[in-house]
Structure 1
Amino acid sequence: MLQSVLSLIPNFAMTCFLLPVSLCKRIQYVLTRFWWDQKLGETKICWVSWEKLTQPKSLGGLGFYDIQAFNQAFLAKLAWRLITAPDCLFSRIILGKYCHKTSFLKVETNTSISHGWRGILKGRDLLLQHLGKVIGNGETTSVWNDSWIQPKKNLKPFGPVFEQDKDLMVADILTRETKEWNVERINRLLPELASFIFSIKPSVLENRDSFIWPLQKSGVYSVKSGYFSLQEAQITRNKLLFENRLSTTTEVFHLSIRALKEWEQAQIANPTLSGPRLKPPLQLSPLPDSTVFCNTDAAWKSDSAGIAWIFTDSSSTVLQQKALSLNHVSSPCMAEAIAIRGALLNAASLHFTNIYLRSDSQGLIKAINQKVWTIDLYGILSDIDYLAFSL
Structure 2
Amino acid sequence: MWLRDETCEEVVANNWFSPPTGNPHEQIHLRLKKLRQELRKWNKQTFGWCHSKIKSIENAIKDVQMKDQSVENLALEEALQVELDEQYKRVEVMWKTKAKQRWLQDGDANTRFFHLSTVFKARSNRIHAIKRTDGSLVHSWEEIGNEFLNYYSQLFSTEFGQNSHPFPPDLESLIPQVVSEEDNVSLCENPTADEIKSVVFEMAPFKSPGPDGFPPSFFKNFWHIVGTDVVKAVQHFFLSGSLLKALNHTFITLIPKNDKASSAEQYRPISFCNVTYKIISKILAKRIKPLLDKIISPFQMAFVPGRTINENSIISHEIMHYMLSRKGKKGFMAIKMDLSKAYDQVEWPLLLQILSNLGFNSRFTSWIKECITTSSFSFLLNGSSFGYLTPTRGIRHGDPLSPYLFIIYAELLSRILLNNENLGRFKGVKISRNSPTISHLCYADDLTIFCRAEIGDAQCIQDCILKYATWSNQAPNPSKSFVHFSSNVPASAKRNILAVLQMPECTHKAVHLGLPFCKPRSRRQAFNHILDKLSGKLSGWKMKNLSQASRGVLIKSVGQALPIYHMSTFLLPKSLCGKMDSTLRKFWWGARQDKKFLALKCWDDICAPKNLGGLGFRKMWEFNKALVSKLAWQMCFPQDKLWSQILGAKYLHFNSFLELPGRTVGASWIWQGIMEFREIIKEGACYHVFANSEIKIWQDPWIPTVQNFLPPEEHMQEWAQNQNLFFVRDLMENDCKSWNLNILHEIFPRCEDSHHLLLECAFTERIWFSSKWKFRLFPFRHLSVSEWFLTITGKDQRFLPPNSTQEEFITFWIAVLDLIWGNRNNILHGKPKMEPDAVARIAHTHTVEHSQAQVLKSLKASSVVFDKWLPPPEGWLKVNTDAAFSDGEGMVACVIRNHEGTIICAKSERIWAHDPTAAEVLVLKSAFLFWTTQRLTKLYLRLILC
Higher RCO structure, 1 or 2 (CA under 8 Å, sep 6+): 1
TM interval, short-chain normalised? 0.3 to 0.5
